[in-house]
Structure 1
Amino acid sequence: MSSTKLTQLLHIKYPIIQAPMFLVSNVAMVREAMHAGIAGCIPALNYRTLDELRAAIKDLKKAKVEGGSFGFNLIVNKSNLKYKGQLEVLCEEGCDFIITSLGSPEETINQAHAAGIKVFCDVTDLKFAKKVEALGADAAIAVNNEAGGHRGNLSPEKLIKLLTENLSIPVISAGGVGCKADIEKMLSFGAEGVSVGSPFIASVEAGVTDEYKQACVDYGADDIIMTERISGTPCTVINTPYVQKIGTKATWLENMLNKNRKLKKWVKMVRFSIGMKATEKAAKKATYKTVWVAGPSIEHTKEILPVKAIVSNLVN
């Protein structure tokens, strides 16, 4: 694959970011991603304490190689009570880039740039993309309607072209990439690189159960559905028998309370807390309550492989 603005920004061999995945991403995955010539990213929320986050950064700095790059994802809205502390640690210890999600990245951009850290911002539409560009973002991550987890509403082609025609900063496509042909398609639409998540769930190094990994092998694109039962916001999951049993819609009580402006915020926080505990249990322990987050790109996942082999499949 030829050099792109993303490979130049992060000094990596291939224009690929191993996407940050809640509960899944870890130091081992990112270390192997860097050794394979791509960038790796971990959600800061995967670490319960700031000391654990600091230790992870130090481990990755030791593991960094030429042609590899690492970063962290920050949830930058008020619901993340750990945000300010996480940002402070990242700026103190240093990393190559930060990906922001779900809120205004202004504070993150200002502090990260002062520390020499690049900032990429998740966006799903042109309006927010223009805002983050004006704030000084180094790139926009275009989250399309084929992404896993909380996805956008526009197709990869429509979103990439909309952003590239109206922004001066690089656009990185997120969603719908499971093989080399998918990467080439996103680049042909104008993207400078891709963020790839779901194919790496079924990696040897992923910090989840073998059952979760095997599910990404056994199920395919047609088995991915949207549920409101995790965070209150539609999220993609594998349509397991347990998901079918509990349903995918918010309860009548949640729907009623969500209509109340004062209570809506608290209802979402409670739903998020309950949903995250359920997904963590399914990801980390053997349980019949299988709520596994994934995107349609698991269609191309045929076996559990080391990260390096997954990267090799993507670029070769």
Structure 2
Amino acid sequence: MTDQAILVTGAAGFIGFHVARQLLGEGRPVIGLDNLNSYYDPGLKQARLALLRNEAGFSFVEADLADRDTIATLFARHGFAQVVHLAAQAGVRYSIEQPQAYVDSNLAGFLNVLEGCRRNGCRHLVYASSSSVYGANTKLPFSVQDRTDHPVSFYAATKKANEVMAQSYSHLYRLPVTGLRFFTIYGPWGRPDMAMFLFVNAIMEGRPIRLFNHGKMRRDFTYIDDVTRVVSRLIDLVPADDPAAANAPFKVYNVGNHHPEELMHVVGLLERDLGRTAIKELLPMQPGDVMETFADVEDLMRDTGFAPSTPIEQGVRNFVAWYRDYHKV
């Protein structure tokens, strides 16, 4: 426990909201930052933010990470010892349509965070990477020792760039940095552009759900509460010098359920919990997509004594219950 506030970027976003709540629940003050953009319904972001504002120890800054002067001033004012950087332009498919948004947020924005950390004595930066960095890899499960130089979407390329940028700052400035490769996070307060939310919306409205590669996909679905527990454990676990990273205090972990689920099985669970049958539209593979994701979490388990394990059946049930409550259906 510390009296100094932890900066959580993307605090009105899905993962950032849950991480901020976890840290506040542990008695850690949090300064949340978000630009509240309109990539998806800002009303959902405002609803998350309203809950955070009710928590003791929370304060909010509305700002864009790409605004260099504002971010530099924020870091200089607070001298954050710990930073959890979760803000990013998300979405594989959107990156094909709007690549510039990813340059502004994921590259320029991340650079401003790195600069803020290194100039103001940050003791540990924890940031969100993505399982998408594994790209065209076919060896399963994905290991943090695997090569990640074949991204199949521009979103994945920006996340790979984040890892390389972070490692260079860790090496040059002795900045302790931990990257988290997230695998298909889902749960209450989730993003409306993600599969689980899209499927429930379509099923409830009697519209077809779109299943790419004719539904023959497997994903390592990871429940949000498991993710917050990982971040809570890692924020105080400052990485030691790693010979594999030029002796920099730099670490990367997979954060996944290490149990891929057939997409059709997940649809079946949603049908069960919604009490409705989905209309299925089977479509070919989309550009930027991969057939299967599967996390090797041995490093995470070894270093923290914890790895995500919430069964998909329980996670889907919780998500549907939240969806019904939030949308009053």
Interval of TM-score (by shorter of Structure 1 and Structure 2):
0.3 to 0.5
